Amino acid sequence: KSQQIRAFFSHQRHKRALISLSLLIAITLNLPRFSVSRSLSSPNATIEIKIGDLFDEPGHLVIGVNDVFDTELGEVIKPSSVQGQFLTGVYHGDQKRLDAEIDIALEPFKADKKREANKKKGKFWRYPISTTLVLGSPDRRFFLNAYGFMGNDLKVKATADNIWYSLSCLWEKVRLKGHGLEVTIPIIGSDLARTNLPRMTLTKLIVISFIAASKKDFVTKKLTVVIHPKDLDLVDLYALEDFLDSTCF
């Protein structure tokens, strides 16, 4: 009888241990993910998707802009936007200095510009969608990539085609000017760009375009796609991890 009692309690202990283990596994599997990454075998590069702040990341940064390269904060450029944070954080609010550097970088594109007579606020010289400028220093580049059309109503619009073409030109510029250093990009085309594409789709579009460019020729050793913490509920990092598994090879 004592053996039966010992066997009973031993069984109960094992049962509790299995329940505890199952609960631990369930909790672990359901914890929110904050980053996922995978490597490309050829060329040797890493793609990471993470929750974070673009301006906290090392290396080069991509700044999505409109086709007139507006910089005026307020009604034209929202201070909370990536462009607004770029002006206030990197240029310490010195709009004149930023405009001067943009004008110098735009010199090679002057032949392609067109004047927008009906635009009442902000800049009025339009440049082709995909125009990409390089500011900063060799160890900290800022790639200003024009992916959206700034309407005369001060609303930016972009299509999936606009973004794909702009990304293709962006990777070429990164290939030429990035020296292989890691590059971080936000989810361009979300919020104010009015693409009507969800962040999951835009994230996948960025990744696929980078893989396509990398298979053509080496772009950078690491691409980080940063998702702002406020958008955490709008993305599924587990699904994005599966996506990376299926596309990175």
What confidence tens digit (pLDDT) does each residue in 96-137 have?
A: 999 999 999 999 999 999 998 888 899 999 999 999 999 999
Torsion angles phi and psi, residue 151, rounded to 5: -75, 165
Angle at 108 between CA 106 and CA 113, to 5 degrees: 65
Q: Report d(CA 89, CA 80) in Å as an integer.
A: 11
What tokens does 118 get?
A: 């009906």
Long-range contacts of residues 104-111, Cβ cutoff 8 Å, at least 24 apart: 105/133, 105/134, 105/135, 105/144, 106/69, 106/131, 106/133
Question: Among candidates 43, 44, 62, which has minimal Cα distance to 224?
Answer: 62
Work out the pLDDT band at 9, boundaries 50, 70, 90.
very low
What confidence tens digit (pLDDT) does each residue in 227-246 have?
A: 999 888 889 999 999 999 99
Q: Are 37 and 114 in contact (CB under 8 A)?
A: no
